Amino acid sequence: MNLIGALLLFLGLSLSSLYLFPSGAPQLTDFVLVGFAGVMLVMSLGDKQLKVSPFAICWGMMVLWVLLVCLTWTLIMQTTTFFRPAQFFLFNFLIGMSLLRFLTVYGDRALGIIRNGVSIALIIAGSHVVTQLALGVNRTTGSFNNPNQLAYFSLCGLVLLLMLDDFHLRMRPLVLAGVASGVLGILAASSLAAMGGGVMVLAGWAVANAKQVKHFARLILLLPLLLLGVLVANISSDGQVLRNLEARMDRAPSKVDSVYEERKFDRLMNFPEYAILGAGEAERERFAPYDGQEIHSSFVNMLFAYGLPGLGLFLLTIATVLRRAPLFVWAAVAGPLIYSTTHNGLRSTLFWIVLVVGWHLYREGSLAITRRRLVAELS
């Protein structure tokens, strides 16, 4: 295995929850992952046969359409501000393709690096959460800049860890600590959308383990352990976790009533013509008095900013990943997607890593999954 690439990937994932700079600015993990992508690019030059997957084609077409929309509006508006949001799409595609190449070449060893790196990242965020709860912080941010970033990262991290073990978690201390930190991160951030997504992830986990007594017994054993960890965190913070949840639940009805204006869905309703080919994600003063902040929804934002082609290619990319996947994988991936209905989660690299790993593991359908599970159990 290429040690430099493996080390950069492990370091980049381990640091992915650590935000040292303002949101939207490159973080330390981004520089490390760019290094990883550079190593993968150099290594790919020696590949004799490079196969382009349907997943890569769909995702690549989506990114190209985003760039085309940005270029068009740059020429029309005579400003380069449209390309700043496009940088996130291009960066995540670059990292995703590099990771896909790494997974294709190194297989299970690459999966182990991802598993350990994501577990450490969740633990780093979780350790900050515990400290903030002890200090009486209402909505914790963990090692991020705001609670929503913590909740979404925790949700995607949980899905990824479950995928890597085919939803049959083994008793690895590092992974279990990562899962516990992820659950705590979702609850401590008090994100209603993340908690709703977490219910879907839990449902997928339960479905995956319900058919075999051994796996179901392990699930029954793990759930109380995870809940015990959350209970300990609640007690050590003098009930701060429970108070946060109660406060958010009390606000739930008002948040539902105001979601239309608060999430800027009214911009789409008042300027529906932009849903055809896209308006880009800059120069929002065009939409006064409905300008304000960005649209807080991955789906609505894709539709308004990049039109029906952009949203269609995004949905096609997800469908390509899940086409042959079991039902429990659909349920788990629905978790981050539920969150994304009221938040824009497309800039998160970990979300795209979930799709990359999902494609790598489940593209061949149930037969390949069963074969891989048997090999893992015999090893």
Residue 375 has pLDDT above 60, yes or no: no
Q: In the structure, what pLDDT confidence band is assigned to residue 233 with cuts at 50, 70 and 90? A: low
User: Which residue has 């490079």 as its token pair?
Assistant: 50
User: Which long-range CB contacts under 8 A does 233-241 form with residues at least 24 apart?
Assistant: 233/129, 233/130, 233/133, 233/184, 233/188, 236/130, 236/133, 236/134, 237/130, 237/133, 237/134, 237/136, 238/136, 240/133, 240/136, 240/137, 240/138, 241/133, 241/184, 241/187, 241/188
- Say if CB 111 and CB 212 are below 8 A apart: no
Mean pLDDT of the region 46-70: 89
Per-residue pLDDT reduced to its tens digit, 191-216: 888 888 998 998 898 888 877 655 55
Residues 166/373, Cβ–Cβ less than 8 Å:
yes
**Cα–Cα distance measured from residue 59 to residue 63, given in angstroms and rounded to the nearest whole number:** 6
Residues 6+ apart with CB under 8 A from 295: 263, 264, 265, 267, 268, 301, 304, 305, 344
Residues contacting 240, CB < 8 A, separation 6+: 133, 136, 137, 138, 234
Please compute the mean of the pLDDT values over residues 6-11 and round it to a whole number.
Answer: 96
Q: Rounded to whole angstroms, what are the CA distances from 121 to 39, 102, 118, 174, 270?
A: 22, 20, 5, 11, 41
**What pLDDT digit, counting tens, does each position of 282-300 carry?**
888 889 888 878 888 999 9
Asked if residue 69 has pLDDT above 60, the reply is yes
- Report the pLDDT value the prediction gives residue 230, as an integer from 0 to 100: 62
> CB atoms < 10 A from the CB of 22, how many?
8
- In percent, how much of the chain has pLDDT > 90? 56
How large is the average pLDDT for residues 11-20? 96
- pLDDT of residue 126 exceeding 60, the answer is yes
Percent of the chain with pLDDT over 70: 82
Worst-scoring range by mean pLDDT, 142-146, 329-333, 370-374?
Answer: 370-374
Question: pLDDT band at 225, cuts 50/70/90?
Answer: low
Per-residue pLDDT at 219 exceeds 80:
no
In sequence order, which residues have a C-beta less than 8 Å from that of residue 155 and are 6 or more positions away?
182, 186, 194, 197, 198, 201, 335, 336, 339
Whether 46 shows a pLDDT value over 80: the answer reads no
Task: Give pLDDT, residue 187.
Answer: 85
What confidence tier does 379 reach under pLDDT thresholds 50, 70, 90?
very low
The pLDDT of 167-192, averaged and rounded, is: 88
Mean pLDDT for all residues in the chain: 86
pLDDT tens per residue across span 313-331: 999 999 999 999 999 999 9
More confidently predicted of 180 and 311: 311
Residue with the larger pLDDT of the pair 88 and 130:
88
In this structure, of 32-46, 50-64, 141-155, 256-270, the range with the lowest mean pLDDT score is 256-270
pLDDT in tens, 132-144: 888 877 778 999 9
Q: How far apart are CA 157 and CA 254, in angstroms?
A: 29
Residue of higher predicted confidence among 305 and 227 = 305
